Amino acid sequence: MLYPFHSSEGVFICGVLFYLANSGANVYGVIVAGWSSNSKYALLGAIRAMAQSISYEVRMALVLLGCVFMAGSIHLQSVKLWQEGTFFVIGLAILPLFAVWLISMLAETNRAPFDFVEGESELVSGFNVEYSRGGFALIYMAEYSNILFNRLFTCAMFLGSRDVYMLGQAWVFLFLFLWARGTFPRFRYDILIRLA
């Protein structure tokens, strides 16, 4: 219902607000997963992941509101159609927002160089340290499905195009996520605070 297909009849009208509400609710799953494992290390990792996620939610909301104000609609399909019609005219105005959005997406999905949740020696593996087999698989499936959805949302919000081209653009973003993980070293926490 949130993805803006051209041929879809049942697209959610307040798509951008629905995305913000769902991405904000992601924090609750992380804190419950860290708390329910009954380990101090997992709880410390969950609190750190929660603090990092909440700090990037504000920046993501401001970037999305900037795009919504330019497009004049919170309907995701309208924003995508606006991007299709005026991309080359308005593209330069959205470019700074797009750069901030990409950095925020890397940080929100705990990808390198912003993977502080698992990066410190006292955190071991973050909030998922006590999970194995099925629980561990579900946590990582949720994390990677978040990456897959965010890349499609990024294409719809910033690079609006036809559905076939959008899937190609989404594969480029997946490559950028993997490339950033293999290329950039992990930031120190004070550098992250200065960046934010």
pLDDT in tens, 111-134: 777 776 666 555 566 666 677 788
User: Under DSSP, is residue 192 helix (H, G, I), strand (E, B) or coil?
Assistant: helix
**Cα–Cα dist 82/51, whole Å:** 34
- Residues near 94 by Cβ (< 8 Å), separated by ≥ 6? 67, 70, 158
In the numeric block, the tokens 């970037």 are attached to 63
Average pLDDT over residues 182-194: 74
Residues 30-50 as b or e (16 or more Cβ within 10 Å = b): bbebbeebebebbbbbbbbbb
pTM of the model: 0.78
> Which residue's entry shows tokens 């803006």?
4
Q: What is the DSSP letter of 13?
A: T
Among positive and negative, which fits the CA dihedral 106, 108, 111, 113? positive
Distances (CA, A) of 149 to 72, 86, 142: 23, 24, 10
Burial of 92 (0-12, 13-18, 19+ CB in 10 A): exposed
76-90, 118-132, 147-161: range with lowest mean pLDDT:
118-132
pLDDT at 88 over 60: no
Do 47 and 127 touch, CB atoms closer than 8 A?
A: no
Q: Which amino acid is at 56?
A: Y
Q: Tokens for 100, please give them.
A: 């901030």
Nearest 10 degrees: Cα torsion 2, 113, 29, 194? -100
- Decide if 67 contacts 158 (C-beta within 8 A): yes
- Between residues 184 and 162, which one has the greater pLDDT? 184
pLDDT over 80 at 32, yes or no: yes
